[in-house]
Structure 1
Amino acid sequence: MPASITLSHLSWSTPDGHALFSGLDLSFGPERSGLVGRNGVGKTTLLKLISGDLQPRSGRVIVHGSLGRLRQAVQVGPDETVADLFGVTDALALLARAEAGHASTEELSAADWTLETRLAAALARVGLPIEPGTALTTLSGGQRTRAGLAALVFAEPDFLLLDEPTNNLDREGRRAVIELLAGWRGGAVVVSHDRELLEAMDAIVELTSLGASVYGGNWSQYRARKALDLAAARRDLTEAEKRRDETERKAQIAAERKARKDSTGRKARAKGDAPLLLLDAKKERSEKSGGAGARLAERQQSQASEALAKARERLEILQPLSVRLAPTGLPADKVVLRLDALRFGYEPLRPVLDGLSFTLAGPQRVAVTGRNGSGKTTLLGLITGRLQPQAGSVWVLPGAALLDQEVSLLDPCETIRDNFKRLDPQSDENACRSALARFMFRADAALQKAGSLSGGQMLRAGLACVLGGERPPSFLILDEPTNHLDIDAIEAVEAGLRAYDGALLVVSHDESFLDAIGISHRLELPPTA
């Protein structure tokens, strides 16, 4: 039987009773499927249900074939090695004994003489030429992710279940993962907001609060279909509004007609122009007819309102987030950042940055790029004052704002609204609520505590608080801003940053994002020795 994953009438709710899936029917075959959707819609939960880490409230998950799952973070113990991650520590030890002439005849017959070659090939496929005995604690987060993916490929499962496999990877690591998946011939279900990776998919599965929709083809083909869906949803909403208005108009005309007939009947009764029995019979017929008409009108109005609500809900799901920013007024020649012969290292004789000079003036858009470990985070620490240079100097325009991956500018104990008011005390309540609404924090959503938000919601709230005011900062520093955002939010941020007229310094490995926001210069940091 061909490998497959089938979800049948699947339902699952969070511990507080919020239903993520209800009666979900979905299937995956031996192809590469990208799983997309807004943050909080249940993408990671769906992978956990498929892998058996969670059990559905109702329905079934049927898997034909083997699964290999890569989680967002590869957790490691202090003594674990790459060989432990692959599950081949004992097999490698046997080969070592055999090569030393200490293995028994029985052990020699069980030895896998191709193991070392296959291990090296799996690691090479993800661009990680390291020894199996390497301690995992010595690897960066991105290197651990690549090692975990190599271990999955080595096991040769029928399906790969990957949760944001390119998060925190540098350009080289992202390229290795994309190439690996492009050549993968088994099944794969990939949760990702990496549009370059999604271009390598055979199908895109979109999760929304309405369920799942499957689109054949890669990311570009999916976006084209979505544009058509959005246009259709707007037409449906217009038609639903017309039907609702027409139904209400007809109900009003019918009510006015009945009121006139009732008035005529009352006048005739008062004059005594006709026998009471005849008038009573007419009244009874009128009341029956009027009651039936009222019930019919009420039913039609209810149906029209329900259709309108559904049309609005679908448009809300399909409509991309829209961000508009106020101008900063930054002059074209105003210096916002100056680095002069900057030197810094965590060890005295091993500088991470050595002799770095750079000037950013006016509304330039600069991407800081380089491999993991080349000093990008260190440079941001020096620019923001968290670190002090060992030599050289840093000057930054006062009022510059940093939005880091932890969104540390937000107080987790305060609501989003209160954070906004603290960071922009000049804004009145209407301006505050309007700014937050543009970033999809409407009404009570703006009253959520920042500490209760998901990673993507937290970053969106940080962007709202930094950029949403009447006078955004003239210089904005972003540290991997897309890592925890869903694609709709990324595209909204891109739209907002394209309209931003201040200076940008961005650390990001997301080339699609950098292209979209119009990066004009690059500061490439060389690998550290």
Structure 2
Amino acid sequence: MSSPRSSLLFDRVRLVWPDGSVALDDVSGSIGVGRTGLVGRNGAGKSTLLRVAAGLIAPTSGQVSTSGPVAILPQRLAVDPARSVASLLGVEEPLRALRAIEAGDVDPRHFDAVGDDWDVEARAEALLADAGLPAQALDRTVGQLSGGEAALAALLGLRSSRAAVTLLDEPTNDLDREARARVGELVRSWPGALVVVSHDIGLLELMDATAELYAHSLSVVGGPYSAWRAHRDAEQEAALRAERDAAQAFRRERRERIQAQDKLATRTRVAHKAEIEKRVPKMFAGMRANAAQISAGRLRTQMQGKEDSARSALTEASARVRDDDVVRVDLPDPDNAAARRVLAVGDGEREWIVTGRERLALVGPNGAGKTTLLERLVHGTDDPASLHGRVYVDRVGYLPQRLDGLDDDASALENVRAASPAAPSGEVRDRLARFLLRGDTVTRAVSSLSGGERFRVALARLLLADPPPQLLVLDEPTNNLDLDTVDAVVAAVRAYRGAVVVVSHDDAFLSRLDLDLRLELREGRLRELPE
């Protein structure tokens, strides 16, 4: 068991995939009680670590100790659509028995199933209400809920199970603003220890501590994401300063060694010349030469030792500096004229036009039809009597929310080359490296990649098109991305000289895009929101 002050304890956990790639390499550390956010770069192994902690994957070596039963909400929610919401909440059996008793069935088995839980229905309905779900959802199946509602119901089920440790992997993905707020409320009062992997800064700010998985090492800082970010930045600033000082010291020691060697060489030449010119007796010259050699040897050893020590100090200082690669997304210029009409969207009452290089954000609650409207834009279907969209340019790049345009059985290289068949493999590899897709990652099946890696493959496939798209259509582009990659996407979209339509529930992301127009879709109608 873990210590009383920790909920999870990792002891040299190592995981090697069947293809030989290392997912986790001797990860050790502990996560305490309370709410902990787990952060790290895409591909660092956060989701894998959660699955190992939950017992879904057995580590190759090492072990995980927990403070009790562990429950997990995976990143890709796979709940049987035929499963009842009551079952998801863990109340199906007592609820069925209670209703049978209320209908007049006095079978003793029903009373045993209910036990003392006579308010099970009212309690379950109160749970649903806390998550903004209607009471009648209790009698529905998961398949009858929207994706956001299903995620909230699954979250409620985990919360009601009251496991000692609960693991949530990107719980706010695909959730609208209202649903995200409800997840926040659930998290604030969560029973037991909670570990959350997320790129949602608002959610991470609710944490009591922040753990980072970096270079197969797990470290924990007290406080929410902002406290961890400040700690990391201060740590890096100190590490960079120490590296500069160590580099300066190394250069000084090397320079002094070279200068000392030059002086010794000069003395040797002078002594040799004096002997040749017979300005000193041969015996005395030999004694002087011997003493000079001994002195020179000592000095060389001393100076070399100082230089070696300075080099070691520099190596040690450099090791403390994080070598964080970042995605470099340079979008090509599609040569859109500023006044060129690119697309139109409307709802039968009003229509909005987007030209040349303008950026449109489409927001609204889950189930409002945002993705449907994007599909109409991309595929050219039009229904003037209701929501409609029309594109006036030929080249449209579409990044769907589910990334379902990828061939999961093919590699990243094969997926990108399929969209750019004329590009040589070497050139495609070089470009994929700018998306941090290198080495074996390029040749592995896309199905084996992390969510962030899959996104980068899809983005590379989209952006390496030739000629470049005149319109980018992005549906929830920040899902599964680490925060540094979100920064890169923001910078790329801001610099892009074509038109952009983006659907997102991430207000922090949208606020950074220099939007020209923000439309809300609700109950079949569009309305323009103030900036």
Report the TM-score, using the length of structure 2 for normalisation.
Answer: 0.81
Aligned residues of 1:368 and 1:525 also touching (Cα < 8 A): yes
- Is the counterpart of residue 492 in structure 1 residue 497 in structure 2? no
Tell me the equivalent position of 1:315.
322
CA distance in 2, matches of 1:110, 1:384: 53
Tell me the equivalent position of 1:344.
none
Decide which of 77, 87, 93 is 2:80's aligned counterpart: 77
Q: Which amino acid aligns with 1:513?
A: F
Tell me the equivalent position of 1:145.
151
Shift of the alpha carbon at 1:375?
2.0
Shift of the alpha carbon at 1:336?
0.7
CA distance in 2, matches of 1:17, 1:464: 23
Q: 1:340 to 1:216 in 2, by over 3 A?
A: closer
- Is the counterpart of residue 87 in structure 1 residue 83 in structure 2? no
Decide which of 502, 506, 526 is 1:506's aligned counterpart: 502
Shift of the alpha carbon at 1:33?
1.2
CA distance in 2, matches of 1:212, 1:449: 26
Tell me the equivalent position of 1:388.
381
Shift of the alpha carbon at 1:36?
0.8
Decide which of 214, 219, 230 is 1:213's aligned counterpart: 219
- Is the counterpart of residue 358 in structure 1 residue 366 in structure 2? no
Q: Secondary structure at the match of 2:362?
A: strand
Q: CA RMSD in A?
A: 3.9
CA distance in 2, matches of 1:512, 1:107: 51
Q: Secondary structure at the match of 2:253?
A: helix
Shift of the alpha carbon at 1:10?
3.1
Q: 1:100 to 1:226 in 2, by over 3 A?
A: same
Aligned residues of 1:182 and 1:200 also touching (Cα < 8 A): yes
Q: Where do residues 458-473 of structure 1 align in structure 2 (5 Å cutoff)?
A: 458-464=454-460, 466-467=462-463, 473=469
Q: Quick check: 98-107 or 259-268, which moved more?
A: 259-268
Tell me the equivalent position of 2:162.
156
CA distance in 1, matches of 2:326, 2:218: 18
Aligned residues of 2:14 and 2:27 also touching (Cα < 8 A): no
- Is the counterpart of residue 419 in structure 1 residue 416 in structure 2? yes
- Is the counterpart of residue 518 in structure 1 residue 514 in structure 2? yes
Shift of the alpha carbon at 1:281?
4.7
CA distance in 2, matches of 1:250, 1:450: 54
Aligned residues of 1:119 and 1:154 also touching (Cα < 8 A): no
Tell me the equivalent position of 2:234.
228
Shift of the alpha carbon at 1:126?
1.9
CA offsets 1:232-278 (integer angstroms, 9 cap, x no match): 34323322332332233234334434544565676678778534974
Shift of the alpha carbon at 1:32?
1.4
CA distance in 1, matches of 2:473, 2:15: 38
Q: 1:113 to 1:14 in 2, by over 3 A?
A: same
Aligned residues of 1:11 and 1:22 also touching (Cα < 8 A): yes
CA distance in 1, matches of 2:14, 2:215: 13
Decide which of 356, 365, 374 is 1:371's aligned counterpart: 365
Decide which of 115, 119, 125 is 2:124's aligned counterpart: 119
CA distance in 2, matches of 1:167, 1:369: 15
Q: Secondary structure at the match of 1:52?
A: coil
Tell me the equivalent position of 1:27.
31
Q: Where do residues 206-355 of structure 1 align in structure 2 (5 Å cutoff)?
A: 206-209=212-215, 211-260=217-266, 274-275=282-283, 278=287, 281-282=290-291, 285=294, 288-289=297-298, 292-293=301-302, 296=305, 299-300=308-309, 302-307=311-316, 309-311=318-320, 314-317=321-324, 330-339=336-345
Tell me the equivalent position of 1:454.
450
CA offsets 1:445-474 (integer angstroms, 9 cap, x no match): 895567364331232344456557998644
Decide which of 48, 51, 55 is 1:48's aligned counterpart: 51
CA offsets 1:422-481 (integer angstroms, 9 cap, x no match): 649799989994x65654457x58955673643312323444565579986442111110
Q: 1:131 to 1:247 in 2, by over 3 A?
A: same
Q: 1:478 to 1:117 in 2, by over 3 A?
A: same
CA distance in 2, matches of 1:453, 1:82: 31
Q: 1:236 to 1:495 in 2, by over 3 A?
A: farther
Aligned residues of 1:7 and 1:25 also touching (Cα < 8 A): yes
Shift of the alpha carbon at 1:48?
2.4
Aligned residues of 1:405 and 1:459 also touching (Cα < 8 A): no
Tell me the equivalent position of 1:4.
6
Shift of the alpha carbon at 1:151?
0.7
Q: 1:269 to 1:462 in 2, by over 3 A?
A: farther
Shift of the alpha carbon at 1:116?
1.0
Q: Which amino acid aligns with 2:381?
A: Q
Shift of the alpha carbon at 1:284?
6.5
Q: Secondary structure at the match of 1:127?
A: coil
Tell me the equivalent position of 1:348.
none
CA distance in 2, matches of 1:10, 1:252: 45
Q: Secondary structure at the match of 1:11?
A: strand
Count of residues in correspondence between the two structures: 510
Q: Quick check: 476-485 or 91-100, which moved more?
A: 91-100
Q: Secondary structure at the match of 1:206?
A: strand
Aligned residues of 1:73 and 1:145 also touching (Cα < 8 A): no
Q: Which amino acid aligns with 2:32?
A: F
Q: Which amino acid aligns with 1:189?
A: V
Aligned residues of 1:383 and 1:396 also touching (Cα < 8 A): no
Q: 1:393 to 1:139 in 2, by over 3 A?
A: closer
Q: Percent identity?
A: 34
Shift of the alpha carbon at 1:208?
1.0
CA offsets 1:136-177 (integer angstroms, 9 cap, x no match): 222333222111111111122333211111112233322221
CA offsets 1:469-525 (integer angstroms, 9 cap, x no match): 998644211111011211111122112223334321001111211112233322322
Q: Which runs of 5+ in 2 are unaligned?
A: 526-531
CA distance in 2, matches of 1:522, 1:409: 27
Q: 1:125 to 1:398 in 2, by over 3 A?
A: same
Q: 1:454 to 1:45 in 2, by over 3 A?
A: closer
CA distance in 2, matches of 1:106, 1:459: 51
Q: Secondary structure at the match of 2:12?
A: strand
Aligned residues of 2:38 and 2:211 also touching (Cα < 8 A): yes
Report the TM-score, using the length of structure 1 for normalisation.
Answer: 0.82
Q: Which amino acid aligns with 1:13?
A: L
CA distance in 2, matches of 1:69, 1:437: 33
Shift of the alpha carbon at 1:68?
2.8
